[in-house]
């Protein structure tokens, strides 16, 4: 190979999942010579694009011979490859697209670089509205209440031509949070069934006939560098809970169009209000049909949308309640920690009476269930998040609760430190900051602007004298409410 040539090298996030030791989507790297021949390929051993890619490329060049230079289409990747032995520059690399598509199609489908503005008809304002609706979804955390992704709902949005599409909420397993929307029950059954089951059901549809739309939440660090810049510019997200929207139609992944953004906005907001409100029906299914029509607050079209959710989906059965979900790891961790904390309190710090009751146990459940924190290192930021976000969204507080609230959380700090889940320095920082954080939590909890969807609806139901355990009364209340104004 000529020594004066420039080769191409690029990395893409795979569209398939490696199951061990924990499920993750690896990075794939391709090295091409000027003729388009694949000189070598690299696969990450974890979900992150780390320095192992540089070590692989350096070893590969020693083995096959080094070109004069390498060009990649990612400036951050070029910086990471600065010590491979040849100059690495960043610039357009159209020659990478087809080899990547061919490789990933064989391994797990064609690839598409995520891009919030990938469809030219999508505007930054539309993406910002999507982020607002996704925030509601993230804060409501409906995956806390579902037993698994087989507890499907039916979505209808007449203004967008959607009738009884299938909604599957992900996150009960504590690994991937969000939802997937399927066009038909048959498509959902085919995707979730084993091949022989699909053939037996007569639903073996070709890939080009499949359609789905999804919203998932990713860690900022796992996103491509270009997408991180977009997210920060359009939303300013923290590292966790960055919403990613994807669509699959005509047999391939595509950038979502404006209509799909409107669907994603409407469904995110609707699910955020619906599932927490009817949590009991998901935790302990009775087989009764539960439905609500929700007027969408965050809307980008000329007229307000109304989205109707029905659970269960009329064409799909939910698993019986006695089918233990294999996803309750977070719940089990939270319950074990709460029991240990209660035992510690009984032995050393008898529980104080007053409201709010057992706030320390509630924090354990909220942070394990909602954010995936468990029996590993806790930090001061988790207390700040709990008091600034979770408490105002979910807990009714008054000024007279302040003393009890602080005392119970101080007990939790002591227990976490005793269990080596909180370092001494972090515990000291939390103790010093707790009085201010608690005062801030009480103030924010009294402001309706900070309430989450479930708390907002429950407060309105309480004022109207509606029993939240009476499904018929709740349905009647929501229908009456939506006839005049949206759920806010």
Given a contact cutoff of 8 angstroms between Cβ atoms, the answer to whether 114 and 246 are in contact is: yes
Indicate whether 98 pLDDT > 50: yes
Does residue 405 sit in helix, strand or coil?
Answer: helix
Separation of alpha carbons 408 and 418, rounded Å: 15
Q: How confident is the model at residue 322 (pLDDT cuts 50, 70, 90)?
A: very low
Does residue 89 register a pLDDT over 70? yes
pLDDT band, residue 484 (cuts 50/70/90):
low
86 near 52, Cβ under 8 Å?
no
pLDDT at residue 393 above 70? yes
Residue 358 has a pLDDT of 66
Residue 18 CB burial class (10 angstroms; 0-12, 13-18, ≥19): middle
Q: What is the DSSP string of 192-205?
A: HS-HHHHHHHT---
Distance between CA 117 and CA 261 in Å, rounded? 11
DSSP 124-178: HHHHHHHHHHHHHHHHH-GGGT-S-TTS-EEEEEGGGTEEEEEEEEE-TTSS-EE
* Sequence-separated (6 or more) residues with CB below 8 Å from residue 446: 397, 398
- At 470, the pLDDT band (50, 70, 90 cuts) reads confident
Q: Is the pLDDT confidence value at 310 over 80?
A: yes
Percent of the chain with pLDDT strictly greater than 90: 20
Task: Answer yes or no: are the C-beta atoms of 42 and 57 closer than 8 Å.
Answer: yes
- pLDDT for the residue numbered 326: 40
Lowest mean pLDDT among 37-51, 82-96, 128-142, 190-204: 190-204
Least reliable range by pLDDT among 127-131, 369-373, 402-406, 442-446: 369-373
* pLDDT band, very low/low/confident/very high, at 201 (cuts 50, 70, 90): very low
- pLDDT at 5 (0 to 100): 83
pLDDT of 283: 80
**Residue 291 — φ and ψ, nearest 5°?**
-145, 160
Q: What is the reported pLDDT for 407? A: 86
Would you state the pLDDT for residue 70?
A: 94
Examine the pLDDT at 313 and tell me if it is beyond 80: yes
| Residue spans per domain, the chain | 6-108, 124-311, 329-449
Question: Which residue from 104, 86, 135, 148 is spatially nearest to 14, judged by alpha carbons?
Answer: 104
Q: How many CB atoms lie within 10 A of CB 99?
A: 17
pLDDT at 241: 72
| pLDDT at site 327 | 42
Q: What is the pLDDT of residue 25?
A: 78
Overall average pLDDT of the 40-46 stretch:
82
Kindly give the pairing relationship between strand 162-170 and strand 27-32.
unpaired
Compute the distance between CA of residue 83 and CA of residue 170 in angstroms, rounded to an integer. 41
State residue 213's pLDDT score: 93
Out of 80-89, 280-289, 468-477, give the one with best mean pLDDT: 80-89
Is the pLDDT assigned to residue 164 strictly greater than 90?
yes
What string of H, E and C letters represents the secondary structure of 415-427?
HHHHCCCCCHHHH
* pLDDT at residue 196 tops 70: no
Of 406 and 35, which is predicted with more confidence?
A: 406
Q: How many other C-beta atoms can be found within 10 angstroms of the C-beta atom of residue 184?
A: 17
Residue 478 token pair: 């929501």
Note whether 99 and 30 are within 8 A (CB).
yes
Which of 19-23, 232-236, 480-484 has the lowest average pLDDT?
19-23
pLDDT at residue 193 greater than cutoff 60: no
pLDDT band at 487 (very low <50, low <70, confident <90, very high): very low
> 62 with 80: CB under 8 angstroms?
no
Q: Which CATH class is domain 6-108?
A: alpha beta
Does this model's pTM top 0.75? My answer is no
What is the spatial distance between Cα 216 and Cα 227, in angstroms, rounded to a whole number?
Answer: 14
| Burial classification of residue 170, based on how many CB atoms lie within 10 Å of its CB (0-12 exposed, 13-18 middle, 19 or more buried) | buried
The CA-atom distances, in angstroms, between 107 and each of 18, 180, 192, 254 are 11, 22, 19, 18
State residue 261's pLDDT score.
Answer: 96
Q: How confident is the model at residue 166 (pLDDT cuts 50, 70, 90)?
A: very high
Question: Residue-wise over 399-413: b if at least 16 C-beta within 10 A, else e?
Answer: eebeebbbbbbbbbb
Name the token pair of 381: 């930021």
Of 128, 119, 123, 136, whose CA–CA distance to 233 is shortest? 128
What is the residue-averaged pLDDT of the chain?
Answer: 79
């Amino acid at each position: 190979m000529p020594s004066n040539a420039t080769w191409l090298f690029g990395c893409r996030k795979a569209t398939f999942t490696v199951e061990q030791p924990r499920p993750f989507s690896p990075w794939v790297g391709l090295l091409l010579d000027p003729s388009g021949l694949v000189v070598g390929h690299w696969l990450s051993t974890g979900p992150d694009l780390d320095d192992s890619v540089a070590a692989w490329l350096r070893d590969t060049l020693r083995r096959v011979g080094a070109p004069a230079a390498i060009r990649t289409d990612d400036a951050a990747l070029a910086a990471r490859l600065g010590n491979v032995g040849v100059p690495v520059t960043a610039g357009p690399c159209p020659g990478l697209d087809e080899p990547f598509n061919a490789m990933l199609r064989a391994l797990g489908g064609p690839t598409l670089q995520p891009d919030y503005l990938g469809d030219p008809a999508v505007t930054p304002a539309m993406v910002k509205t999507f982020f607002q609706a996704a925030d509601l979804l993230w804060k409501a955390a409906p995956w806390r209440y579902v037993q698994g992704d087989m507890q499907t709902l039916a979505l209808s949005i007449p203004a967008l031509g959607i009738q009884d599409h299938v909604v599957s909420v992900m996150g009960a397993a504590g690994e991937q949070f969000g939802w997937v929307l399927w066009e038909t029950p048959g498509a959902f059954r085919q995707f979730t069934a084993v091949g022989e089951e699909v053939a037996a059901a007569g639903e073996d549809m070709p890939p080009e006939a499949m359609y789905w739309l999804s919203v998932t939440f990713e860690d900022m660090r796992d996103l491509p560098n270009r997408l991180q810049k977009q997210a920060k510019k359009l939303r300013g997200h923290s590292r966790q809970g960055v919403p990613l929207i994807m669509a699959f139609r005509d047999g391939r992944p595509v950038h979502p169009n404006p209509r799909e953004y409107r669907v994603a906005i409407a469904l995110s907001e609707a699910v955020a209000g619906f599932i927490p409100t009817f949590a009991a029906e998901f935790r302990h299914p009775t087989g009764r049909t539960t439905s609500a029509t929700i007027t969408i607050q965050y809307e980008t079209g000329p007229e307000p949308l109304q989205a109707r959710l029905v659970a269960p989906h009329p064409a799909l059965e939910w698993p019986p309640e006695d089918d233990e979900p294999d996803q309750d790891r977070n719940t089990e961790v939270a319950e074990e920690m709460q029991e240990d904390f209660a035992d510690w309190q009984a032995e050393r710090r008898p529980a104080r009476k007053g409201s709010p009751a057992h706030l320390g146990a509630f924090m354990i459940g909220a942070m394990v269930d909602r954010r995936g924190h468990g029996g590993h290192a806790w930090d001061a930021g988790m207390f700040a998040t709990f008091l600034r976000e979770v408490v105002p969204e979910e807990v009714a507080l008054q000024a007279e609760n302040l003393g009890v609230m602080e005392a119970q959380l101080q007990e939790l700090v002591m227990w976490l430190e005793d269990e080596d889940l909180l370092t001494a320095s972090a515990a000291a920082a939390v103790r010093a900051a707790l009085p201010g954080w608690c005062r801030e939590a009480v103030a924010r909890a009294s402001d309706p602007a900070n309430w989450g969807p479930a708390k907002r609806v429950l407060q309105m139901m309480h004022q109207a004298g509606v029993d939240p355990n009476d499904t018929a009364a709740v349905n009647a209340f929501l229908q009456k409410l939506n006839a005049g104004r949206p759920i806010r």
